[in-house]
């Protein structure tokens, strides 16, 4: 049942939480079922299709917003361009827009307005743990920037207290305040920095996928598509014993055998015509050379 539910909902096979829970079962799931779940995860379910459509429209909106922000920022001919940018970012209900507004105020040395926008964020947005940490670091950074820009002697390099605060902010440079603090330290020659090299994905799910797919070359397996089908069915299989053939059996819902066909050894595909089958539900039994059975529910239609 678990396999059927997860195959019918492909997005579940992409959840590391669910896959880890399956890994920790007292009664281990057979590799053949693991393969079905991981294989189904390569396709898109209805939920993911809708999410992708929403993501596409959201991306288009963000592109248009960024283009409009760029127009206002680069407009040096009209005095109202800055006011229009502030109005746009103030009325845009996104966290990214508020941080854009904060940095606009910073560029124009209006630190009080920047602090006001930052303080309003916690009231208007539900922040995740990561976003809350970034917000707290931004609250630490703003007073430092105010000191730097308003240094009556001319800012050249942060003092020891300011330097310590900047080093505290760059503990994580993946957020805006961390990157800003890092760039200040770099410009003053207080640190050296090399961009990290991102290597391949080493998440547990990627290892699990690799493990399951690797077993295909050592154990018999069968893959059936398209399903539902109308005119033909493709059966992709691996029969590991070279001397003993495997078999396919089609049965209807009453258990009557409709078709039996022999399979060759090794890896191969077999195309089966189902155009003469009555529309309905059938069961395909794959019996490998070792007598193991694998059952697939097949739906045919006109």
Residue 284's pLDDT band (cuts 50, 70, 90): confident
With tokens 């305040």, the residue in question is 177
pLDDT digits (tens, 9 = 90+) for 270-279: 888 888 888 8
Confidence at residue 215, expressed as pLDDT on a 0 to 100 scale:
41
pLDDT digits (tens, 9 = 90+) for 54-100: 888 888 888 899 999 999 999 989 989 999 999 999 999 999 999 99
- What CATH number should be reported for the domain holding residue 290? 2.60.40.1930
Q: Is residue 283 part of a domain?
A: yes
Confidence at residue 101, expressed as pLDDT on a 0 to 100 scale:
94
Q: Is residue 243 part of a domain?
A: yes
Q: Is residue 93 part of a domain?
A: no
Model pTM score: 0.52
**Closest C-alpha to 102, from 124, 91, 121, 118:** 118
Q: Is residue 126 part of a domain?
A: no
Q: Is residue 255 part of a domain?
A: yes
Confidence at residue 292, expressed as pLDDT on a 0 to 100 scale:
66
Residue 250's pLDDT band (cuts 50, 70, 90): confident
The mean per-residue pLDDT over the stretch 146-158 comes to 75
For residue 299, the enclosing domain spans: 222-302
How many domains in the chain? 1
Task: State yes or no: pLDDT of 37 exceeds 80.
Answer: no
Mean pLDDT is highest, among 113-122, 199-208, 230-239, for 113-122
Q: Is residue 287 part of a domain?
A: yes
Interatomic CA distance for residues 47 and 123, integer angstroms: 31
Confidence at residue 289, expressed as pLDDT on a 0 to 100 scale:
63
Confidence at residue 291, expressed as pLDDT on a 0 to 100 scale:
67
Q: Is residue 235 part of a domain?
A: yes
Q: Is residue 124 part of a domain?
A: no
């Amino acid at each position: 049942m678990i396999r059927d539910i997860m195959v019918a909902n492909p997005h579940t096979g992409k959840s590391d939480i669910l896959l880890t829970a399956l890994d920790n079962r007292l009664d281990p799931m057979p590799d053949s079922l693991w393969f079905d779940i991981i294989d189904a995860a390569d396709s898109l379910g209805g939920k993911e299709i809708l999410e992708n459509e929403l993501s596409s429209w959201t991306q288009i909106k963000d592109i248009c917003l960024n283009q409009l922000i760029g127009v206002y920022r680069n407009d040096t001919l009209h005095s109202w361009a800055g006011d229009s940018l502030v109005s746009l970012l103030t009325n845009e209900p996104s966290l990214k827009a508020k941080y854009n507004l904060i940095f606009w105020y910073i560029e124009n040395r209006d630190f009080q307005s920047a602090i006001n926008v930052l303080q309003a964020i916690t009231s208007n947005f539900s922040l995740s743990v990561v976003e809350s940490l970034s917000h707290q670091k931004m609250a630490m950074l703003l007073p430092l920037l105010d000191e730097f820009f308003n240094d009556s002697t001319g800012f050249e390099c942060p003092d020891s207290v300011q330097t310590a605060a900047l080093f505290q902010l760059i503990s994580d440079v993946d957020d805006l305040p961390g990157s800003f603090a890092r760039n200040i330290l770099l410009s003053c020659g207080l640190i050296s920095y090399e961009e990290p090299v991102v290597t391949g994905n080493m998440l547990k799910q990627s290892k699990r996928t690799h493990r399951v797919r690797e077993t295909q070359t050592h154990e018999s397996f069968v893959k059936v598509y398209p399903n539902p089908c109308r005119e033909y069915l493709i059966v992709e299989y691996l029969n590991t014993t070279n001397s003993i053939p495997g078999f396919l059996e089609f049965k209807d819902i009453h258990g009557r055998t409709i078709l039996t066909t022999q399979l060759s050894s090794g890896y191969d595909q077999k195309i089966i015509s189902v155009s003469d089958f009555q529309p309905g539900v059938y069961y395909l039994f794959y019996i490998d050379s070792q007598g193991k059975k694998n059952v697939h529910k097949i739906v045919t239609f006109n």
